[in-house]
Structure 1
Amino acid sequence: MSAATTTELVHAYRRLLRAGLRAVQFSKPSRSTVTAKLREGFRDPGAKFDPERVRRTVWFLNAAAQQRGLEHRIVKNLCRVHWERAREASRTAWRLRVRHDEAARERKEGRKKDPDVIKGTEYEHYERTIAMLNDSMGLCLR
């Protein structure tokens, strides 16, 4: 596969953006989610451009825009999870300070807290599912 030209990338970005915004019906929290994920995907230096995957993703997003079927629910849930993760990340600084204070208090009192084995792996299954969906259908959803 040859390297993509700038115009091909711009056209692909615009097609995906238009189809994505139609799929979420220009709703306020979802449209910012779609734009953020699309920018993240196109700015990723390790990402590979595949025009066939872009074409199939545009078809998928157009199907999500046309009727409230499985495609619409998938896009809706992708936006919701991304929004929740961003919201969680924005509150992390406060949470870390509280946890740090709690840990200091526990050390002072002599109590030990069990390490959280789930922390950092909450979205592993979700990300694998999206990767398998992309592989099986030839899409480039994030």
Structure 2
Amino acid sequence: MSRIITPASKKASSIFRRLWRAGDSSVLYSRPAVYYVRQRIREGFEEHKNVTNENILNDLFERCENTIKFLEISAKRKGFEHKVIYSLCEMTYIQNRYKRRPPHSNKRLSLELYNMHAHSYDDYYLTVKMMNDSLKLCLR
């Protein structure tokens, strides 16, 4: 089955490669962090792979351009941007470890404790969402 190549898909693949390179340099090519950045980039593109609305695509492309600039600044200086990227990589590591083996996976949890674990990342996701909205980024 052949895939139809449109100008939007060409632009998306170009932005994907640019994000990939900027992400690698933003974590200074350190081995585990490179994998976490790449994982997040892949997840973001998988989430929006079926979008066909031109307005939404243009907004996503603008957000990707802003994110590339953010990652490039993160690579150049160890300021706020670098700390944000470092924190995102740490959270990806923690979430991956949690998915493999949740805490107390061999014990039956009370409903209250189960709900605490189920909603433990809500504040983190809200913070990232608010930062993305205010800076017009697409960090994950």
Aligned amino acid, residue 136 of structure 2: G
Alignment of 1:1-142 (within 5 A): 5-45=8-48, 49=57, 50-92=60-102, 95-96=104-105, 98-100=106-108, 113=110, 115-116=112-113, 117-142=115-140
Shift of 1:114: 6.0
- Counting aligned pairs with the same residue, the percent is 30
Whole-Å separation in 2 of the counterparts to 1:124 and 1:4: 36
Aligned amino acid, residue 99 of structure 1: K
Whole-Å separation in 1 of the counterparts to 2:132 and 2:112: 34
Deviations 1:54-106 (A, max 9, x none): 111001000000010000000000000011110111113x843x114xx7xxx
For normalisation by structure 2, the TM-score amounts to 0.82
Number of residue-to-residue matches in the alignment: 127
Runs of at least 4 residues off by over 3 Å: 45-49
Aligned amino acid, residue 96 of structure 2: A
5+ long unaligned stretches in structure 2: 1-5
Shift of 1:115: 3.0
Whole-Å separation in 2 of the counterparts to 1:40 and 1:95: 27
5+ long unaligned stretches in structure 1: 104-112
Whole-Å separation in 1 of the counterparts to 2:39 and 2:133: 22
Whole-Å separation in 2 of the counterparts to 1:56 and 1:114: 42
Q: In structure 2, do the counterparts of structure 1 residues 120 and 4 end up closer, same or farther at CA, with 3 Å as the change threshold?
A: farther
| Rg larger in structure | 1
Task: Select between 38-47 and 58-67 the one with higher mean Cα deviation.
Answer: 38-47
Q: In structure 2, do the counterparts of structure 1 residues 119 and 55 end up closer, same or farther at CA, with 3 Å as the change threshold?
A: same
Q: Aligned to 1:99, what secondary structure does the other structure show?
A: coil
Q: In structure 2, do the counterparts of structure 1 residues 84 and 4 end up closer, same or farther at CA, with 3 Å as the change threshold?
A: farther
